Structure 1
């Protein structure tokens, strides 16, 4: 049996988790900072890193307590050291290195985005191991979050290659900006998803950017602008002197929920269309890499409309769908500890000079 303590602090979630044998989550503690950043309608890096400093040790202690373990029981310490906000990452990396040094445990560095693709392999009990098999490879991977919207060719959990990414806003960021336009609050994703269920997704004809023919990249800036104009009308003038015809307060509640539903339909439809392009392109150009599974991770994988659409998509294209349980969609440390299990058995360890890195390695 292998027990790994994972630590995650890449953005505004301070998290620690203990995972057994790479799949069974024994504890999953996440301290959120949403209330700290709500007034700014986005994450403020300095505030985030200070909150991590306050939360990191209590979160680690709680993860050990919930798993009924001590640090002596742990085989290795894993930490997400890339990508993310550098100040936030430094807190988690420093804590992991201190624990590894003081307990003489191996240290394992994990890419946060790669871990999101592993999250679908996690279960909350031994009983779920047989009912939730691991992904079959080759696979098509999709990470949808506040910072990432990327398609991957996956040959294994550690062999992943990006084949398409956003050229502007990530889908989660677009949701947050849409919520600002509609004056719904922060974070925007869950709020739009909730009220969209009450609206008509065909009420407004919002764009689905496909970019050039054959492109697997994403773009959501045009959708965000189209929503702004649908809410406020096209501006008269430019820059600071621009004047809009109306504001969201001039709209009825039904118009607002219809706009939310139309935005969500357009955003998710763009993702599904890119998935279709990717599967068809791989099957025709490199049939030996034709995906057997569709693996999805990231905070937006909790979106109800996305989950419905990818379920239908996977069925139509005869793919096994691997999507995380809701507990493992947001940034969490269970995905860090789970993926670290593979590194541990490959004897792939980091030393105490491990840096925090703002970007991924070619991901």
Structure 2
């Protein structure tokens, strides 16, 4: 079974083709991605209307590129999957419209997929795929969640962000430091030259006994330091503040993940989403989990950001597990807000 996946939830246009083979892990045949980073840099963040228009321009050429790379004809596609939510409403509508139109033209069924489920399952495309059950740390854009995952479609929220997510904290603090878009990767690069102990920043909710996250207070603390340093701050102080900010975010993510593992008794951790590519986060999680005999699984770096491969994979695994049924009803809707447990 060949599943074409279409991702358009925010500022990346992604298309991919995976092959589902019986009960085994689906195989990625080809994927193509276009990032809108360069377009949005002039505005310091994602402009939803521009994002939607760019998806319109990119998705059809990307689909043709993927089919050509895989050596497949459109007529060989068995199911067309797309991101139904969460995400930007206009951007989601572009991907849903393309997927349903293509499926209708080919007389193939279509399936809407939860964006975060795609991230959650993306490590299954790696060289070291996990096994159920596991704890998942989802750190993608405006979402920071800890989940217990017992199987495809069997998700329990253990903790989640109550205000700013980790990705938002990276981006907002980077903006306070005068860094460009996207802020998270730029802050991480600047942090390599700084001293994380130079500033005493808070670790919100670290000791409150829950698995919830809050990073709004950290952002306020960084703002206070930026104002104290003034407009003529030296580059070393900026690097030190970047390093301290990154260290605070990573410490919270690592310690909450370890607490989730301890509370559930599970010995396997999956980290997924864009922040999952952060070098310091991976290093600290690897060290901490190795000491405790816990296996950690990550997506391939190329699949940490939004992409069509994770959408095609999630659809394939849902279909294999009998957790979803593709439909030839091409009247589509999108859900900009959609809880993963309700998927």
Q: Is the 8 A contact 2:152 2:318 kept in 1?
A: no
Is it true that 1:303 corresponds to 2:287 in the alignment?
Answer: no
Q: 2-side partners of 1:265 and 1:23: how far apart?
A: 36
Q: 1-side partners of 2:27 and 2:284: how far apart?
A: 28
Residue 357 of structure 1 aligns with which residue? 335
Is it true that 1:74 corresponds to 2:77 in the alignment?
Answer: yes
Q: Is the 8 A contact 1:8 1:16 kept in 2?
A: yes
Residue 104 of structure 2 aligns with which residue? 101
Q: Secondary structure at the match of 1:155?
A: strand
Residue 195 of structure 2 aligns with which residue? 200
Q: 2-side partners of 1:18 and 1:138: how far apart?
A: 26
> Which one of 41, 47, 51 corresponds to residue 48 of structure 1?
51
Q: Is the 8 A contact 2:206 2:252 kept in 1?
A: no
Residue 248 of structure 2 aligns with which residue? 266
Residue 246 of structure 1 aligns with which residue? 230
Q: Is the 8 A contact 1:164 1:215 kept in 2?
A: yes
Is it true that 1:348 corresponds to 2:332 in the alignment?
Answer: no
Q: Which runs of 5+ in 2 are unaligned?
A: none
Q: CA deviation at 1:212?
A: 6.5
Deviations 1:10-39 (A, max 9, x none): 011111011123543222211111122112
Q: CA deviation at 1:157?
A: 2.8
Q: Is the 8 A contact 2:79 2:326 kept in 1?
A: no
Match runs of 1:83-98 below 5 Å? 83-98=86-101
Task: Figure out how many residues of one structure are paired with residues of the other and give that number.
Answer: 334
Q: Is the 8 A contact 1:117 1:157 kept in 2?
A: no
Match runs of 1:275-294 below 5 Å? 275-282=257-264, 290-294=265-269
Match runs of 1:218-229 below 5 Å? 218-229=213-224
Q: Is the 8 A contact 2:193 2:239 kept in 1?
A: yes
Q: Secondary structure at the match of 2:240?
A: helix
Cα distance change on mapping 1:201 and 1:23 into 2, 3 Å: farther
Q: Secondary structure at the match of 1:358?
A: coil
Q: 1-side partners of 2:104 and 2:188: how far apart?
A: 44
Q: 1-side partners of 2:26 and 2:277: how far apart?
A: 20
Q: Greater shift after overlay, 154-163 or 342-351?
A: 342-351
Q: Is the 8 A contact 2:201 2:248 kept in 1?
A: yes
Q: Greater shift after overlay, 88-97 or 21-30?
A: 21-30
Q: Greater shift after overlay, 74-83 or 18-27?
A: 18-27
Q: Is the 8 A contact 2:206 2:256 kept in 1?
A: no
Q: Greater shift after overlay, 141-150 or 211-220?
A: 211-220
Deviations 1:159-181 (A, max 9, x none): 11211111111111111111111
Q: CA deviation at 1:208?
A: 0.5
Q: Which runs of 5+ in 1 are unaligned?
A: 234-244, 283-289
Q: Is the 8 A contact 1:296 1:323 kept in 2?
A: yes
- Extract structure 1 runs of 4+ deviating beyond 6 A: none
Q: TM-score, normalised by structure 1?
A: 0.88
Q: Secondary structure at the match of 1:105?
A: coil
> Which one of 221, 231, 237 corresponds to residue 255 of structure 1?
237
Q: CA deviation at 1:88?
A: 0.4
Q: 2-side partners of 1:292 and 1:259: how far apart?
A: 34
Residue 132 of structure 2 aligns with which residue? 137
Q: CA deviation at 1:59?
A: 1.3
Cα distance change on mapping 1:11 and 1:86 into 2, 3 Å: same
Q: Greater shift after overlay, 75-84 or 310-319?
A: 310-319
Q: CA deviation at 1:211?
A: 6.0
Cα distance change on mapping 1:330 and 1:200 into 2, 3 Å: same
Match runs of 1:124-203 below 5 Å? 128=127, 132=128, 134-203=129-198
Q: 1-side partners of 2:292 and 2:93: how far apart?
A: 42
